[in-house]
Chains A and B, each alone.
Chain A
Amino acid sequence: MAHYQTYETAWCPGCGNFSILRCLKTALEELGKDPTKVLIAAGIGQAAKTPQYISTNSFCGLHGRSLPAASAAKIANEELTVIVNTGDGDSYGEGGNHFIHTIRRNVDITHFVHDNQIYGLTKGQASPTTSEGHKTAVQTYGNRNTPLNPVLLAIASGAGFVARSFSGDPQHLTTIMKQAISYKGYALVDILQPCVSFNKINTYRYYKDRVYYLDEDHDPTDKMAAIQKSMEFDDHIPIGILYYEEKPDFHQKNPILSKGGPLYQKNCSKKDLEHLITEFI
């Protein structure tokens, strides 16, 4: 992995983020992506430090706001492979509104959510995916709110690529990552990621005991089947591509972008501007 060299991280030993970072590098290598044409974007959080530990272009924006920024970067330059690596709190909590509307927009970006079912960086409060009853320093009697089901929400909102994987299964994760990056349009991979410091419930063992592979019996192009599968979580957690549908992405639907070529290199001619001015006369 000469290209995507590693830096010293600020993650806890044993954290699931290490494996996700390794898989990301492998996926990019195996896809033959030129690192100078890759942009990794993130919000704020432990997961959101990922762009700092890989040598590509990087955009570490605001907590919850990576999706709009990443989408627009892709709109500005279609030649960039744009990947968002960020947390469950960042993606589904602070940025929840952007999550839904990014799906609707369907810009060709990939969204890897490091879903540790907790707020890691702020030291262990409930995230939107924290299970019911989970006690934290804030949820002192146990989390009373119903956990959000991100994959179900994504399918319902019209996402064309929705998958789940597990940081403890690097081979599976790398494969799914490659497929998600190659998908034309918005692709979500919700990655189960143990947080060894602040989530003592959803541990490596916890996930290991529950995950199972989606096999040929599951047809990811069957939306009803996908919805049904995406509702399985507590005792049996299916991993793999839950839903897959090819649909026109933002660039294909846009009359300027569908002509091809990076937007930032296009221009408006003086003649066209002159014409606009005369329209006011």
Chain B
Amino acid sequence: MYNILIGGAAGQGIDTTVTILERLLKKSGYYVYTTKDVMSRVRGGHNFSTIRFGDQAIYSHSNKLDGMIALNQETISEHRKKLNENGFILCDAKLQTEDAKAILLNMEEMAKELGDFRVSGSIAIGAILKLFGENLDYAKEVMSTTVKEAYIEINMKAISLGYHLVETRFPRKKGNFQDWMLLSGNSSIALGAIAAGLRFYSAYPMSPSTSIMEYLASKGTETNIVVEQAEDEIAAINMAIGASFAGARAMTATSGGGFSLMVEALGLSGIAEIPLVVANIQRPGPATGLPTRTEQSDLKFVISASQGEFPRMVIAIKDHRDAFYQTIRAFSLAEKYQIPVILLSDQYLADSTATVKPFPLDDFSMEPLPTISNIDAEDIEENYLRYRITEDGISPRRIPGETKAFVTADSDEHDEKGWITESAQMRIQMMDKRMRKLQNLQQELLEPLFLGAESCETLFIGWGSTYGPIREAVEILNQDDKGKYGALVFGDVFPLPTRELIKYSKTAKTLINVEQNATGQLAGLIREYTGIQCTQSILKYDGRQISAEEIVQQLQKGGR
């Protein structure tokens, strides 16, 4: 497995270089995993990406580097210590570094000679391909999908120029992933939503959620999805609820700040029993926090957000593939139980790309909406009861305008018809009816994923995006101490599935929660619902995703 870093200032074209390089490597058969570390600014600062590639599946990033493309001096000083013994620093000769690891190329000069200084990145790409023993077979194909027609030729010249400037240093590894997808976490959510039959998407731009809206908007016309940029997140969620009430599968996404504004409407979805999917792509808070960075600190917030009590479901996304399937599942649960379902992801997953097997479309089918053909006769007449009290708590949902039934929705407590009531008895009946939906939902919860050795002594506990780093950490640790380490990684976090947790906590001696927050929110939830106490925690809240190596190091230091 190899790992290279591309670093420079904002505006230096890192993104394009990374996009071309990751696609080239994947085309050549590699499994590719790219992460982005960006500052919240449009020019200057220090941004970088790492591309990890190998012939086997890769689950997260790593801080050990085989090489770097340094577009400025800062990249070298910041990341040099991460280089392996035979690691290289590919940089422009103008940086004048005397570092023994440096491969100095006159890239900018050569680019100018070719006719456009901006193609220096492609010279670097050419050099990287050669260093790793690649050929130029896919260069044209990839270029033609990433740069404008007029620039293909000059970029091809640049790649070829760079290719002939260096010698191969690393043996080429032959993977079999050329026909897999290269997918970001947010694109995967968007694809899942399309597959689930999304018809209406409303949102207000907020990093790191915005790329979901951008993707859906770019594909809206061909997929029959209306995408509307709302005036604020309150409008965004109320629009999604209005569309869903009228029969269109609807979704909104945001980050913590926007979610804070959506809170009241979450309760509207709860009491009016209107299916709703909300994705919260977390970033560090409070308030504006670190806008372009990662954190998992909204768990306790989203499970209790909004006044009053109502059933809801919270699903944390574990990786890029999971994002697709959990989004589909979110739509299906929201509709089945007529509840809000919250998807929790974060900047790490949102902006990173992983190699994912193309989704087989025959694997799933969404339930059709309640159309006239699949409903009871009594529910299409004027005496239809939108909030009929039923055993499983689920009342018959109709689409307004489709039948003779008048469809109601009310944010006030209401009777079976949907009219305001203050009757104490009806209040209890309605509360009980809504909360009863949880009984069946509980049966459908997905237990956390278990990794490692069955009879482990040390059990890591995590949720969502720390899945990758935890998985790798367990593999590393079990190489030395076979059978000592295991992990449970939660996807469904609320309601909290407890069966596996109770089982493994009986035998494991040490329970360590690994979370990207300062207070150990999942550990708190586990304590509340099971009484099980984590004995140590590994917590990270600097806005950067924890790596497997850091987990191993922290463990050796005894956690915190």
**Bound complex: CA A141 to CA B246 (Å):** 46
A68 at interface (Cβ–Cβ under 8 A)?
yes
Q: Does A36 contact B (CB under 8 A)?
A: yes
With known contacts A57-B406, A65-B265, A68-B238, A75–B228 Cβ distance under 8 A = yes
Question: Does residue A270 face the partner (Cβ distance < 8 Å to B)?
Answer: yes
- What chain B residues lie within 8 Å of A70 (beta carbons)? 242
A267 to B195, CA, bound (A): 10
Per the bound structure, the CA–CA distance linking A60 and B265 in Å amounts to 12
Q: Is the CB of B234 within 8 A of A76?
A: no
Within 8 A of A (CB), among B377-417: 382, 399-401, 403-412
Count chain A CB atoms within 10 A of each CB in B382, B403, B409 and give the residue with the most.
B409
Contact assessment for A59 and B420 in the assembled complex, using a CB-CB cutoff below 8 Å: no
B31 CB to nearest chain A CB (Å): 14
A 49-89 binary contact with B (CB < 8 Å = 1; else 0): 10010011111111001001111111111011000000000
B56, CB-defined interface residue at 8 Å:
no
**A97 within 8 Å of B (CB atoms):** yes
Candidates B179, B272, B401, B407; contact of A281 at CB < 8 Å? B179
Main secondary structure of the interface of B (DSSP, over half): mixed
Q: What residue in chain A is nearest B382 (Cβ atoms)?
A: A55
Q: How far is the CA of A267 from the CA of B404 in the complex (A)?
A: 25
> A277 to B245, Cβ gap below 8 A?
no
Cα–Cα, bound, A170→B222 (Å): 48
CB-CB < 8 A to B409: which residues of A?
58-61
A223 within 8 Å of B (CB atoms): no
A235 within 8 A of B: no
Taking CB atoms, residues of chain B closer than 8 Å to A41 are 242
List of B residues within 8 angstroms of A274 by Cβ:
361
**What is the bound-complex CA distance between A224 and B242, given in angstroms?**
35
A257 to B248 Cα, complex, angstroms: 13
The proximity string for B residues 177-220 relative to A, scoring 1 for CB distances below 8 Å and 0 otherwise, is 00111110001000100110101101000000000000000011
Is the CB of A44 closer than 8 A to any CB of chain B?
A: yes
Contact with B along A208-236 (1 / 0, CB 8 A): 00000000000000000000000000000
**Which residues of chain A are within 8 angstroms of B369 by Cβ–Cβ distance?**
264
Q: Is the CB of A61 within 8 A of B238?
A: yes
Q: How many residues of B contact A (CB 8 A)?
A: 67
Enumerate chain A residues within 8 angstroms of B232, measured Cβ to Cβ.
97
Contacting pair B200 A75 (CB below 8 A): yes
Q: CA–CA, A72 to B248, complex, Å?
A: 9
Partner of A76, one of B181, B246, B418: B246
CB nearest neighbor in A for B184: A280
Q: Which residue of B lies closest to A41 (CB)?
A: B242
B68 CB within 8 Å of chain A: no
Which residues 256-283 in B have Cβ within 8 Å of A in the complex? Answer: 264-265, 268, 272
Q: Does B247 contact A (CB under 8 A)?
A: yes
Some 7 contacts from A to B, beta carbons below 8 A apart, are A65-B238, A72-B243, A72-B248, A262-B247, A267-B224, A280-B182, A281-B180
Interface residues of A (CB under 8 A from B): 7, 10, 35-37, 39, 41, 44, 49, 52, 55-62, 65, 68-77, 79-80, 97-98, 100-101, 105, 254-257, 262-268, 270, 272-274, 276-278, 280-281
For the complex of A and B, 5 pairs with smallest distance between CB atoms: A69-B242, A72-B242, A264-B247, A280-B181, A76-B246
